[in-house]
Structure 1
Amino acid sequence: MARASRFETFDRDIQIATAGLSPEAISAELARVAIAERERVIRLGEASPIYDTFVNGVRGAPEASVKAPGPIVYVFSYWQPIIEFALAYLRKRSPVLSGRYAASHMVMVGGQVMRPDAPLSADEEVTIVSDQPYSRKIETGHMKMSVPRGVYDDAVRQIQRRFGAVISVYDTQILLPNGYFLKGVFRKGYRPGARTSLRKDTRAGARMTYPALIMKLKGS
């Protein structure tokens, strides 16, 4: 389990001696100390090596451009351990007859598939989804499986339990660019008590919606 301190924010008030320094020299010293402190906390594992820099409120500006008294603000991203945990849980929770569904969970940002270890900014919205055409049947229980239905629904609870202090997460259904078009006639399915009324996205010819997780870091 990840230590809570890895996901806590820290606020360091940098104090520098300014007596006898010109405004330009004060700004230069502020930038130097900020960079040194940033590198120190990353080296000690207190902060993520992925971060956004804000100098005098300008995102991406170099520290050297600071005008005293600043501020210089670093917003650190902690996506990698969260994504690793979510994918690991989904794979473990998936039915394993062929292993195809368990291997199909993928990370998307801005509608594009990303590597799970891709560096992501703190303000990104991350989607995890399976592109298998039977993924919705697995989620709703409309097929026989070796595991209970609600794979993504259970993942939401586990992610909230582990990382709820730093992220918001919910499950939904999304369209995929090359998504499956439903064929044939929708049946009641295996699960006792399954609904029989047809929504528009359960009729033959409709584009299927896929169960998905949506995650966003709090405060970003």
Structure 2
Amino acid sequence: MATRTSVRLDPIARDIALIRDEMLSPAAQGDALAGLAREVIGEAQETNRRALGYAPDYDLFVDGGRRATLDGLKPSSVVLAEFHLLLDVIEWVDAQLILHSPVKTERYARSHQWFADNVAFDDPTNPPPAESYIVLNSQPYARKIERGQSSQAPDGVYEAVAVLARRRFGNIAYVGFTYRSFPGGAVGDWAQTASAQALGQRIRKGRAGLRQDWLTRQPAIYIDPGR
């Protein structure tokens, strides 16, 4: 699924405009199409501004190629504007997680890990296309912080940020708080220690795989652009 929301110029509206101006030269028809495209994109920007409180950036494509302007259109040109809506959600969530992180050592703030369809990526300002996104913290004490056991984050971090994101971006994507197993990073290393294994056997009886899943379950924020 694309990480951006697209607005394509309605071909029916385009054809009506061109029929109306069919006596114009091809260059003049291209200019008329550009004017119509600007009007449609402007309407989409205003819709986004009313919904979000700001007008998001967008990329402009003409006949499949990225363009900086609408100059020099042909009467048959296909115009597409891709608004960076989901990108804004991911960037905002990442910034808020860092902002709300306890900063005693900054290790927690540096341990927010993003995944696109369960594949890790490092740059939340440039997420790959995916059906869904997850961010979690790789430190083994993340669950304690989420339970309010840090004086710097008495209300936790992930659930609070998820609530804020849902209020802000709920009309763009589903944003929810959850727990996900992450057998990597510092929490994965901790889960292999004797003390962690003993804890798992004492609290979570049953198969070793289930205990491992419990030991590595971390607070997470789930983002689904398709809902």
Q: Pairwise CA RMSD of aligned residues? A: 4.8
Shift of 1:217: 3.1
Shift of 1:158: 0.9
TM-score of the pair, normalised by structure 2: 0.58
1:208 paired with 2:216, answer yes
1:36-47 matched pairs, under 5 angstroms: none
Indicate which of 99, 102, 106 corresponds to 1:95: 102
Structure 1 residues without counterparts, runs of 5 or longer: 1-6, 188-195
Shift of 1:161: 1.5
Q: Distance in 2 between matches of 1:90 and 1:151?
A: 7
Query: Do the aligned partners of residues 10 and 25 (structure 1) sit closer, same or farther apart at CA in structure 2, a change above 3 Å counting?
Result: closer
Indicate which of 114, 120, 127 corresponds to 2:122: 114
TM-score of the pair, normalised by structure 1: 0.59
Encode CA deviations 1:191-214: one digit per residue, 9 max, x unaligned.
xxxxx5558677369761332211
1:1-220 matched pairs, under 5 angstroms: 13-14=13-14, 15-16=17-18, 17-20=20-23, 32=34, 48-51=56-59, 72-110=79-117, 111-118=119-126, 125-140=132-147, 144-146=149-151, 147-148=153-154, 150-176=156-182, 178-179=184-185, 180-181=188-189, 182=191, 183=193, 184=195, 185-186=198-199, 203=211, 208-217=216-225
Q: Distance in 1 between matches of 2:102 and 2:89?
A: 22
Shift of 1:145: 2.1
What SS does the aligned partner of 1:91 have?
helix
Structure 2 residues without counterparts, runs of 5 or longer: 50-54
Query: Do the aligned partners of residues 35 and 109 (structure 1) sit closer, same or farther apart at CA in structure 2, a change above 3 Å counting?
Result: farther
Q: Distance in 2 between matches of 1:77 and 1:34?
A: 22
| Corresponding pairs, count | 197
Q: What residue identity is the alignment partner of 1:145?
A: S
Indicate conservation of the 8 Å contact 1:90/1:102, yes or no. yes
Identity, in percent, stands at 24
